Amino acid sequence: MVAFGVSCTLLAFWRCALAAWALSPLARPGGAIAGGGGGQVIRGGEKERWVQARSVRKLSGRVAQPRGDYHWSVLNIGPLRLGTNLLLAPIAGYCDLAFRTVCRELGGVGLACTDLLSPQGLLRGTATSLDLAKTNDFDKPVGMQLYGADPEIMAQGARWAVEHGATVVDINMGCPVDKVTKKDGGSKLLTDLSRAAAIVARVVQELERCPLDADEWRRRLGSAELINGLPPRGARIAVPLTCKVRLCWHTADYEAGRACSPHLTRALADSGVSAVTVHGRTTEMKFAGAVQLAGIARVVDAVNGRIPIIGNGDVRTPEECLTMLRETGCQGVMIGRGALSAPWLFRECWAAVQGGPVPAPPTQAQQIEIIRRFFRLMREHRDDRYAMFQISRRMSWFAKRLAVRDDGWRESAKPLQEAVRLARSPEEVEEALSRFAAGGLRTFDTARETPATGEPHEPLALPR
Q: What pLDDT, in 10s, does the model give residues 124-180?
A: 999 999 999 999 999 999 999 999 999 999 999 999 999 999 999 999 999 999 999
- Listed by start position, the domains of the chain span 76-354, 364-448
Average pLDDT, the chain: 84
Least confident among 64-73, 257-266, 415-424, 441-450: 64-73
pLDDT digits (tens, 9 = 90+) for 20-73: 333 333 333 333 222 222 222 222 233 232 222 222 223 333 333 333 455 667
Per-residue pLDDT at 28 = 31
Give the dihedral sign, CA 197/198/202/203.
negative
Comparing 110-114, 258-262, 412-416, 427-431, the range with the smallest average pLDDT is: 412-416
| % of the chain with per-residue pLDDT over 90 | 75
Please tell me the predicted confidence (pLDDT) of residue 71: 62
| Residue ranges with strand state E in 236-359 | 241-246, 275-279, 309-312, 332-335
- At the top level of CATH, the class of 76-354 is alpha beta
Helix (H) or strand (E) holding 364: helix 364-381
Using CA atoms, how far apart are residues 54 and 69, in angstroms rounded to an integer? 8
- Which has the minimum average pLDDT: 188-202, 315-329, 410-424? 410-424
pTM (2 decimals)?
0.81
In single-letter form, the type of residue at position 461 comes to A
CA distances, 235 to each of 56, 159, 212 (Å): 51, 19, 8
CA distance to 75, 108, 348, 401, per residue, from 85 (Å): 5, 9, 13, 25
| pLDDT band, very low/low/confident/very high, at 445 (cuts 50, 70, 90) | low
Query: Would you say 323 and 293 are in contact if contact means Cβ atoms under 8 Å apart?
Result: yes
Q: State the Cα–Cα distance between residues 349 and 85, nearest whole angstrom.
A: 10
Q: Is 32 helix (H, G, I), strand (E, B) or coil?
A: coil
Backbone angles phi, psi at 86, to 5 degrees: -115, 135
Query: Which pLDDT band, with edges at 50, 70 and 90, does 406 fall under?
Result: confident
* 116: pLDDT strictly greater than 70: yes
Residue 97 has pLDDT above 70, yes or no: yes
Does residue 332 contact residue 308 with C-beta atoms inside 8 Å? yes
Query: Would you state the pLDDT for residue 72?
Result: 65
* Residue 371, SS3 per DSSP: helix
Whose CA is closest to 134, among 430, 384, 377?
Answer: 377
Q: Which of the listed ranges 4-13, 44-53, 104-113 does the model predict with the highest average pLDDT?
A: 104-113
Which of 318, 324, 325 minimizes the C-alpha distance to 344? 318
Task: Give the pLDDT band (50/70/90) at residue 425.
Answer: very high
Q: List Cβ neighbours of 118 (8 Å cut-off, separation of 6 or more).
A: 129, 146, 147, 148, 157
Residue 17 predicted with pLDDT over 70: no
Question: In sequence order, which residues have a C-beta less than 8 Å from that of residue 211 and are 6 or more positions away?
Answer: 236, 237, 238, 239
Quick one: pLDDT band at residue 4, thresholds 50, 70, 90?
very low
Query: Rg (Cα) of the chain, in Å, rounded?
Result: 25
Encode pLDDT of 277-301 as tens digits: 999 999 999 999 999 999 999 999 9
Closest CA to 74 of 356, 357, 355, 354: 354
Confidence at residue 73, expressed as pLDDT on a 0 to 100 scale:
72
Tell me the per-residue pLDDT of 308-329, one tens digit each, with 9 for 90 and over. 999 999 999 999 999 999 999 9
pLDDT grade for 389, boundaries at 50, 70 and 90: very high
Q: What's the start-to-end Cα distance of the chain, in Å? A: 72
* pLDDT number for residue 453: 39
Instruction: Report pLDDT for 444.
Output: 66
Q: What percent of the chain has pLDDT over 70?
A: 80
- pLDDT for 70 equals 58
**305 pLDDT band (50/70/90 cuts)?**
very high
Burial 176-197 (b: 16+ CB within 10 A, else e): beeebbeeebbbbbbeeeebbb
- Pure H helices in 175-258: 178-181, 193-209, 214-220, 251-255
